[in-house]
Amino acid sequence: MTAERLEALTPDPRRTEGVHPDHADLDRLDVGELVRVLADDQRGAVEAVRAAAPALTRAVEVALPRLQRGGRLVYVGAGTSGRLGVLDATELTPTFSWPASRAVPLIAGGEQAIREAVEGAEDDREAGAADVHGAGVGPDDVLLGIAASGTTPYVLGALDAARAAGALTVGLSNNPGTPLLLAADCPVLLDTGPEVISGSTRLKAGTAQKIALNTFSSAVMVRLGKVYGNLMVDVKATNAKLEGRAVRLVRHATGADEIAAREALSGSGGSVKVAIVMLLLNVSATEANARLDAQNGHARAALEEE
């Protein structure tokens, strides 16, 4: 038997590559049952993230000091994982006014790969390292390496380069014991097991990655003072929908009427956080900004300041 034939017969140890034991007749299901099966299997993504909560907690706690010093979040992935990294990085600016320059998405194959497959890009370990060097990754940065398989060469090359540069590395993989988890400073296992459509990690493996990234970045932003109570007070109002949301947030936090909320927002340059401090303390925008600056942007601390 040839080595190639033997390799073909050897089961892939990665759980995401396994054949799901419960759905051998998936193609025979009627549409209603097919939709139910696909939807129900997604519950495994939530369970995987819940199991990873301690690892995510540690990653947030270790990342915070670097980000408080001005470090960046750098996302690295290929295919679905890379696109999820691009999505999380992109959404931080409108949601939390996080500077776009401090959320750096790197995807195997470059921007073209966001919309179409770039053949072989994920297999290029040197390209991952080169992209990290090109982004100027340094000691205060936090690199999130995302790979369902945990073996993607592009991501592993990026992770090695980031560690060599002194950055903190967080690895998200859907398979235990993989090179990505072994190499990362903060390994996060999202053990989702086999997919309903075997090997299609855009399903619950990708969902688990999306939830984990949302959880990590949102927790970081809360701890950095981007939230007051559970209100997204650093929202960047760049369209009519968000302008309306800003007014509602100010009214909810302060009890002010719409006219007062709009006036405060106008005086604050559109900052929900500043407007809230202005109204609750009856101070000018200048004073509100000074109080927030003194408390590193934390609205609650600014409001409690004597």
Tokens 């398989």 sit on residue: 149
C-alpha 275/C-alpha 185 separation (Å) is 40
**In what helix (H) or strand (E) does residue 15 lie, and over which residues does it extend?**
none
Q: What is the spatial distance between Cα 234 and Cα 113, in angstroms, rounded to a whole number?
A: 31
Angstrom distance (rounded) from CA 300 to CA 86: 31
Measured distance CA(25)–CA(157) in Å, rounded: 39
Q: Which of 17, 47, 91, 243 is catalytic?
A: 91
- Given the residues 4, 7, 111, 122, the one annotated as active site: 122
Query: Taking phi first (over 0 means left), then psi (-120 to 50 degrees means alpha), and beta for anything else, what does residue 187 get?
Result: beta
- Cβ within 8 Å of residue 144, ≥6 positions away: 73, 74, 75, 76, 85, 170, 171, 172, 213, 216
Task: Name the token pair of 231.
Answer: 């209100």
Catalytic residue status for 122: yes
* Known catalytic membership, residue 4: no
List active site positions. 91, 122
